[in-house]
Structure 1
Amino acid sequence: MTINGLAAETRWTDATDQAELVASGQVTAAELTQAAIERIEALNPALNAVVMEWFDQARETAASAEGLPAGPFRGVPFLLKDFMAACAGRPMSNGNHRLRDLAPVSPVDSTLVRRFREAGLVIVGRTNTPEFAAQPTTEPRAWGATRNPWHPGHSTGGSSGGAAAAVAAGMVPVAHASDGSGSIRIPAACCGVVGLKPSRGRISAGPLGDEAGPGVELCVSRTVRDTAAMLDAVHGPGVGDLVVAPAPRRPYTRELGADPAPLRIGLLDRTPAGDPVHPDCERAVREAAHLLEDLGHHVESAYPAALADAEAGDRIALAAAAPMAGSFRQLADALGRDLTEEDMEPVSWARYQKARRTSAVEYAQALAVCARFRRGVQQWWADGHDLLLTPTTALPAAPIGSFPDDLDTVDSLTAGYIAFTRPFNITGQPAISVPLSWNEDGLPIGVQLVAAHGREDVLISVAAQLERARPWAHRTVPLLEPSNVS
């Protein structure tokens, strides 16, 4: 189809403005969707961010007034991650080559995917993820590596690396993402986009998932206002949810324009274990601290002492890895037999063997340690701090190919990417990564803000304040500019 010039020029237009173009009649949903499809076709061969293309169905949905709800994002093109997002009648591979080839389809939408549809989003495909979403880089053997739009020789992070690359490259303005140990925030930091991990219980995991675990879902976006509007559109409990976050005091989008009262913010610029971080990451977090002080907040070197509980580390790692057991079970069920070494990548196989050696008693002990850790960390906020400021990662985006097939080496490398993110999956607190800095290599460097459980409103308010003070949406990738799209 022929699209009008305005739709073709929406590569760097955020989802809020794209929805307004449709609502005002300046473009149609079909034109907006076609423009995104053309960008994906032009950019994806170099980046490999999108691994499943559902273009024909997307065109039909966008062209049907009856099939497109009048939600806040009506007509905006959108991508689902290839993990944790059941979509009725569509396959999901979890980054695994067996599931890629079998292509089993889901009988239902997850609660979140249904809410995405109700918001008016047009789903155009799925984005790449590491196998079982288990590494901080997106290089699955099933689909190949996703490359960083800012520097194609480097990783996008993981596990929502395909989603972050697609948004950073301007394929779509916002994309689904999930986070079990940092998988929203790490790719957001590596790709220069916004990544909010909501509080545990804020987003329903129904009807197939478990919102009581460390994994949560939302999105990556180019602007704080898109993240706030998305949270408004999809938050809230579903039928049978065991964990429900406190209801927000008002819509999250109302936090965007109001400068918060001066806040007490702790600064942690070394890993909780006391190890130094990469100079680029340290520089970014210190610059963010100075900016927050300039905005009227009090920043001090302080953090929850419980974060440095070395004794809890191994037990927390065991509990955080537990959701992989569900992925292994799903694979075995799909294959209809016991798993073999040929069914997955070597690192996944090593994790599977390790999981099989873990007893129920060991797992129960790990959960008890996590409960103690959660209460110890959250006490710091209860004692009077409003936010914790950290680097999002201890290292910039790694070169493609840095993660080998050896589990011990992978775990050692992974520690540099999850040191600041995984603790808050265990505590269930909300945390956001914002792209305030870029290094000399042209790679984005994210900083993380963490709030008390249920206080996404504080994160959105401060993140929007930082965005006004040091805007980032005008920064666009200098590489891989397609000749046939704007």
Structure 2
Amino acid sequence: MHAFRDDALGEHDAVGLAEAIRRGEVGAAEVARDAAERVRSVEDRLHAVQLHAAPDPAAGGAAGAFAGVPSFVKDNTDRRGLPTGHGSAAFTPRAARRDAPFARQFLSTGVTVLGKTRLPEFGFSPSTEFEAAEPVRNPWNTGRSAGGSSGGSAALVAAGAVPIAHANDGGGSIRIPSACCGLVGLKPTRGRVVPNAQSRQLPLDLVTDGVVTRSVRDSAAFLAAAERYWRNPGLPPVGLVEGPSGRRLRIGLLLDSPNGVRSDAATREAVTETAAALERLGHTVEPVRPAIDPRFTADFLTYWGLLSFLIGVTGRTLGDGFDRRRMDGLSRGLRETYLENWRGTPGVLRRLRRTKEAYAAAFRGHDLLLSPVLAHTTPPIGHLSPAVPYPTLIERILAYVAFTPIDNVVGTPSLSLPGPTTTAEGLPIGVMFSARPGAERTLLDVAFTLESERPFHRIQDA
């Protein structure tokens, strides 16, 4: 299910489309109209859009790296004049009075915003599904999940409706939908982009904003453009990475999660074939096992529940008529889990913060870690629905999302990349690289290397 056509919007990635607009080969207004039409042509099957919006000619930057490129903002981030619903039916959102700080950074790249994309309630689920609304469907197979929480953004980019879209990641929410939909998804180092307004007030900041793309150069160009708007002086600059450096890397390999969740056969094959390709190219790949506290999963789940509890307490600030009883089954279950365990909060926070030390030890002698993004391949719609009884649902989520949260807790950059193999049904499988804080250039280096060695599978060829 895709919208690719033989024209500029179908042929180019975001960098190429911006170049075509700058050269006058195609007009920005024409591209915006074509993209809006493409979005509508797939929306009745994908259900990826929360709301459509007319382009604002005063927004964006005429000289930005993506000037005139159509895109979307995820519906947990304020865009002036548009309501922010956070994927929840528990309240009626109000129109935002101003752009969120990251939205301003995103707009500075020159993108033309055509609306907002859907996410599961408050971004808690790794699948963009709802109790009483259509799920976001995967364009590779509409019976499968598009991932979460940036599922709407990933579905539109994978389907060829727009070449780039906003996403953010608090436990895997850029990397998970990228893996499900065959995209490039880079979670930057904590503090690399403008801090997320909500999460920086929490005891442990998990969320980093970014984008989902179909090419490595688009992800690289986004980071460089975002850095021109604002750069964190506490991190080494990224600059514009334009291709592989030829540097030989030492890479640690994890096939199973540090806390013992075993990946399935198809996922293991994608990761081991990636490792073999890197070795053929002269890199060193060797097994490594980070000594993560065995309580990490339970601690992360407790902190996750704390977030749901806090939303239930403060939700009235989000919009009109907030009623925590209308939060979905996953949100309610997380909140109840926290209320059962709240007395252990200080220990949970202390242990989660200590994860940084154990994870850093895994990078001694290694430039990167290579692992699955997810422990098993993309599930069918309904498997992770919030309508599933909470005990079953949370067991399924923890058996699926076993690799990504560590980078959120530690703040390290991490990249989902389409793997060299697909499932028996032809669905993409993602592989993940993680690096030391501030080492996005190394992630982009290996991503460019693999992309040039074996171009990613294309939905139009499936």
TM over 0.5: yes
Alignment partner of 1:152: what SS?
strand
- The match for 2:398 is 415
CA offset digits 1:216-273 (Å, max 9, x no partner):
110100001100111112248979xxxx57433451x23x323342111111112223
CA spacing shift, 1:237–1:204, aligned 2, 3 Å: farther
- The match for 2:376 is 395
Q: Say whether residues 1:76 and 2:59 are aligned partners.
A: no
- The match for 1:191 is 181
Alignment partner of 2:173: what SS?
coil
CA offset digits 1:93-146 (Å, max 9, x no partner):
1111233xx231112211111112221111001111111111111112464201
- Structure 1 residue 356, shift from structure 2 partner: 4.1
Alignment partner of 1:210: what SS?
helix
- Structure 1 residue 454, shift from structure 2 partner: 1.0
- The match for 2:41 is 42
Number of residues of Structure 1 aligned to a counterpart in Structure 2: 453
Q: Say whether residues 1:88 and 2:80 are aligned partners.
A: yes
Alignment partner of 1:125: what SS?
strand
Which is worse superposed, 109-118 or 179-188? 109-118
**Contact 2:196/2:208 (8 A) holds in 1:** no
Aligned partner letter, 1:86: D
CA spacing shift, 1:233–1:330, aligned 2, 3 Å: farther
- The match for 1:269 is 255
Give the alignment partner of residue 124 of structure 1, picking from 86, 110, 114: 114
**Contact 1:206/1:238 (8 A) holds in 2:** no
After the TM superposition, list the runs of 4 or more consecutive aligned residues in structure 1 that deviate by more than 6 angstroms: 236-239
CA spacing shift, 1:261–1:321, aligned 2, 3 Å: farther
d(CA) in 1 for partners of 2:187, 2:67? 24
d(CA) in 2 for partners of 1:41, 1:338? 31
Give the alignment partner of residue 247 of structure 1, picking from 231, 235, 245: 235
- The match for 2:217 is 225
CA offset digits 1:187-239 (Å, max 9, x no partner):
10000000011111112225554186011110100001100111112248979
Q: Say whether residues 1:286 and 2:279 are aligned partners.
A: no
**Contact 2:66/2:110 (8 A) holds in 1:** yes
- The match for 2:190 is 200
- Structure 1 residue 326, shift from structure 2 partner: 4.5
CA offset digits 1:267-297 (Å, max 9, x no partner):
1112223343111100000000001101110
d(CA) in 2 for partners of 1:190, 1:163? 12
d(CA) in 1 for partners of 2:304, 2:249? 31
Pairing of 1:419-438 with structure 2 (within 5 A): 419-436=402-419, 437-438=421-422
Aligned partner letter, 2:95: V
**Contact 1:268/1:301 (8 A) holds in 2:** yes
Aligned partner letter, 1:228: A
Give the alignment partner of residue 166 of structure 1, picking from 156, 159, 162: 156
d(CA) in 1 for partners of 2:127, 2:65? 32
**TM-score normalised over the length of structure 2:** 0.92
CA spacing shift, 1:329–1:8, aligned 2, 3 Å: farther
Alignment partner of 1:107: what SS?
coil
Alignment partner of 1:435: what SS?
strand
CA spacing shift, 1:67–1:118, aligned 2, 3 Å: closer
Alignment partner of 2:298: what SS?
helix
- The match for 2:283 is 297
CA offset digits 1:143-193 (Å, max 9, x no partner):
420111111110011111111111000010011111111111111000000
d(CA) in 1 for partners of 2:324, 2:236? 46
Aligned partner letter, 1:331: G
d(CA) in 1 for partners of 2:243, 2:8? 27
Aligned partner letter, 1:89: G
d(CA) in 2 for partners of 1:152, 1:131? 21
**TM-score normalised over the length of structure 1:** 0.87
Alignment partner of 2:137: what SS?
coil
| C-alpha RMSD of the superposition | 2.3
- Structure 1 residue 438, shift from structure 2 partner: 1.4
Gaps of 5+ in 2: none
- The match for 1:313 is 297
Alignment partner of 1:52: what SS?
strand
The alignment-based identity, stated in percent, is 35
